[in-house]
Amino acid sequence: MFLEKLMPSQFVESIHHIDIDQLKRNNIRAVITDLDNTLVEWDRPHATEEVINWLARMHEAGIQVTVVSNNNKERVDRFCAPLNLGFIYAAKKPTNRAFLQAVRQMNVTIAETVVIGDQLFTDVLGGNRLGFHTILVVPVAQTDGFWTRFNRQMERVALIWMERKGMVSWRRKA
């Protein structure tokens, strides 16, 4: 069923609420993460100190991180280059190509990788279609770029429906 593909494996408030030790215990060796409104606000060009620390903790735990973003090369490169972070831009999520490319680049399997993002129709759907463990986070900012606003309206409808059906016990902020 389509709605099952929209259900994240896990829901947390932010990347900082992800238990890195639990990822290690679950044999996770890699993270595919969205950029805009997942790591930082969609209009913030560079990483915050908190994100830099989170990335360092991932590195110390032996977990690789690749940013997979639907945004353009200039935006993603400006964020990732100073961090020496691998990335894929213009990913066309939720299609499979960028997710599979990221797994190949990190030399890991889907079972060893989690997908983190703030959108059901791009990050969660794309990850779930391939069998990744998916982690949905609350968007860092309450504003979005032009194209994301439509997705957010669709997400609200899907989440309200899921909540009414008892499929979720949490609700995203409006």
**Among 123, 129, 130, CA closest to 103:** 130
pLDDT tens, position by position, 106-119: 999 999 999 999 98
pLDDT score of 174 more than 50: no
**If you average pLDDT over residues 76-83, what whole number do you get?**
98
Query: What integer pLDDT is reported at residue 50 of this predicted model?
Result: 97
| Consecutive H or E run containing 160 | helix 146-164
Instruction: Decide if pLDDT at 138 tops 90.
Output: no
The least confident of 18-27, 30-39, 156-165 is 156-165
Greater confidence (107 vs 174) lies with 107
- Residue 68 is which amino acid? V
Domains of the chain from N-terminus onward:
2-164 (3.40.50.1000)
For 1, counting Cβ atoms within 10 Å of its Cβ (0-12 exposed, 13-18 middle, 19+ buried), the class is exposed
Give me the mean pLDDT over the 19-42 stretch. 96
